[in-house]
Structure 1
Amino acid sequence: MSELQTQLPTDTWIYTCWDEYEQIVTNLLNEKGKSYYYKGHMRLEMPPVSFDHGKDHVVIIFAVTLFATLKGILATGLDTTTFRKIGVHDCQPDVAYYLKERAQTIPTGTGIVNLDRYPAPDLVIEIAKTSLLDDLGTKRSLYEDIGVAEYWVVDVQNAQIIAYAMADQGSKRIRESQVLPGLAIAILEEALRLSRQMSQSEVGTWLLSQFQHNEG
């Protein structure tokens, strides 16, 4: 464990000014953690990512990309990318997607996505192994504020997905994606459950059959 990790509490929100937060994040460049900033508070998530977390992460990315491909929906997915509104917000969601006309919004070569210059992603996904309550609470408010259109929290423990449509700095539960029309959350949950029993390639074959069947 690094000296920085022993000095700063993780998995909790700490009152911090933006300048201090930026300095801390700069010092984290060689660490594997994630960082968030919201309403004058920062949060660091430093624990090693578990096998279950990593597996669900891959299944969800594959499922969303496969669905978008089959439906002809332009999609650009991002893995643990930083989205920042300087002095106000900072976040590193596990997965984010720009969809349809926004799929080519962020140019190649971009480092941190500046939310003063570019729009927020259409879809944000957090994979929750140990951070479920925070993902459903404070982070959901953060994503409402930055203008994310849809937000999913994957509950790794229970192979469930809590999905929200977001508008006007508020959110409501949904059972079918609005940014990916026709994608039922229940199919994704079943894919997560199946991934506990079979390989991801077999889950991919099952998803393909489900998505193609629903086209008929």
Structure 2
Amino acid sequence: MIAIKDKLTTDTWVTATWNEFIQIAEDPAYQKARCYYHNGQMRIETMAVGPDNANDNGIIYLAVNLFCAFKGIPHRGLVNCSYRKTGVRESQPDISYYLRERVQSAPTGSSVVDLDQFLPPNLASEIADTTLSDDKGEKRLLYEELKVDEYWIVDVQKAKVLAFEILADGGSRRIYQSQALPELAISVLEEALERSRQPDQSQVATWLVSQFQQV
């Protein structure tokens, strides 16, 4: 394991056993890193989050919360929560949501969510600045296998949202209106991201409310 740590390259996929991944993920040196494991490889993300990345994370979280509140949809939103299928895979989406009846069995506590005991979230979102290619590739496969209902990729540089419905028989397909949150158009999220690029964001929530009142 020492050899792995000495040659570990972060922010890319590295071949590793599950035990090697766990030792790295639980190492205090990587306490603030985001950890993924899939198909015999691990990815330890240590890149700092810039203002645009942090902004978009907050806007997506705000938009989903407002939409659910207006539509009376039970929801539980989690930021940077880790989900683990022991020996198989682990992911840590920027934002994840348990929706409707699944809220009642949503995990609580301070530990990594054990997917042998809990259902996965309905919705997972990755905020992609420098990680866009990976979020569209390996991580998309990871979330397909995780069996979330829907996966969003927020392209920070273009203020775009790539939304995918995870299909029951495998794979995923691009969608332009949320299936997990019916009546929520992906274009509304993109417009909110564009509006949030202004120094004063005070009008973004007001605009979102006006949109959600119309659907």
Does residue 1:145 correspond to 2:145, yes or no?
yes
CA deviations over 1:157-192 (Å, ceiling 9, x no partner): 000000000012210000000010000000000000
* Matched positions, count: 211
Corresponding residue for 2:36? 36
Q: Percent identity?
A: 49
Q: List gaps (5 residues or longer) in structure 1.
A: none
Corresponding residue for 1:135? 135
Corresponding residue for 1:195? 196
- Separation in 2, partners of 1:101, 1:84: 21
Query: Is contact 1:82–1:90 with CA below 8 Å preserved after alignment?
Result: yes
- Separation in 2, partners of 1:10, 1:74: 37
- Separation in 2, partners of 1:42, 1:183: 34
Corresponding residue for 2:206? 205
Alignment of 1:117-196 (within 5 A): 117-167=117-167, 168-196=169-197
Q: 1:202 to 1:29 in 2, by over 3 A?
A: farther
| SS, match of residue 87 in structure 2 | coil
Query: Is contact 2:5–2:24 with CA below 8 Å preserved after alignment?
Result: no
Query: Is contact 1:17–1:40 with CA below 8 Å preserved after alignment?
Result: yes
When normalised by structure 1's length, the TM-score is 0.93
Ranges of 4+ aligned residues in structure 1 off by more than 6 Å? none
- Separation in 2, partners of 1:106, 1:198: 36
- Separation in 1, partners of 2:6, 2:211: 47
Query: Is contact 1:59–1:200 with CA below 8 Å preserved after alignment?
Result: no
RMSD: 1.6
Corresponding residue for 1:93? 93
Residue type matched to 2:175 in 1? I
- Separation in 2, partners of 1:144, 1:162: 15
Query: Is contact 2:77–2:96 with CA below 8 Å preserved after alignment?
Result: yes
How far 1:200 sits from its partner (Å)?
Answer: 3.0
Query: Is contact 2:84–2:114 with CA below 8 Å preserved after alignment?
Result: yes
Quick check: 198-207 or 75-84, which moved more?
Answer: 198-207
- Separation in 2, partners of 1:121, 1:210: 26
| SS, match of residue 152 in structure 2 | strand
Residue type matched to 1:18 in 2? W
| SS, match of residue 213 in structure 1 | coil
Q: 1:123 to 1:145 in 2, by over 3 A?
A: same
Corresponding residue for 2:63? 63
Residue type matched to 1:178 in 2? Q
Q: List gaps (5 residues or longer) in structure 2.
A: none
When normalised by structure 2's length, the TM-score is 0.94
How far 1:198 sits from its partner (Å)?
Answer: 4.8
